[in-house]
Structure 1
Amino acid sequence: MFKERLEQRLQALKAEFKAGQDMLAELEAKQASLRETMLRISGAIQVLEEVLSEAEGETENN
């Protein structure tokens, strides 16, 4: 009886550990995707700032 309970507890802990590993992998994938998205947004911001800066310079020259 005691050994059965230990084995059940072990199986429950293994299942919980596996679920944690799966969740961690999912979160890491989401984090990587978010970083890529933020990098693209950052690049777009930089381009727009440069275009606006050039436009302001042209306006001042005219």
Structure 2
Amino acid sequence: MKEQIELRINELKAELEAGQKVMEELENQRSNITYTLLRINGAIQVLEEMVHKEEASAS
């Protein structure tokens, strides 16, 4: 009985470690995506400002 419990403990520890690794990878992906979205948003703002300046100078 004790061996079965210890085996299950080891299995659960391995699952916990694997889950933590996946969570870390997902957090890294989230961080990278957030950074990319911020860059895209910044580029959109710059381009929109350029369009508005061009429209203003054409008027």
State the TM-score bracket (shorter-chain normalisation).
Answer: over 0.9
Runs of 4+ in 1 over 3 A off after TM superposition: none
Write the distance in 2 (CA, Å) between the matches of 1:55 and 1:12.
64
Measure, in 2, the Cα distance between the counterparts of 1:57 and 1:12. 67
Determine whether 1:53 maps to 2:52.
Answer: yes
Q: What CA distance in whole angstroms lies between the structure 2 residues aligned with 1:35 and 1:15?
A: 30
| AA at the equivalent of 1:24 | M
Unaligned runs of at least 5 residues, structure 1: none
The answer to whether 1:38 aligns with 2:40 is no
TM-score w.r.t. the length of structure 1 is 0.93
Q: Per-residue CA shift, 1:3-62, capped at 9, x if unaligned?
A: 0110010000000000010000000000000011001000000000000000011111xx
**Which sections of structure 2, spanning at least 5 residues, go unmatched?**
none
Aligned residue type for 1:40: R
Matches of 2:9 and 2:47, distance apart in 1: 57
Superposition CA RMSD, Å: 0.4
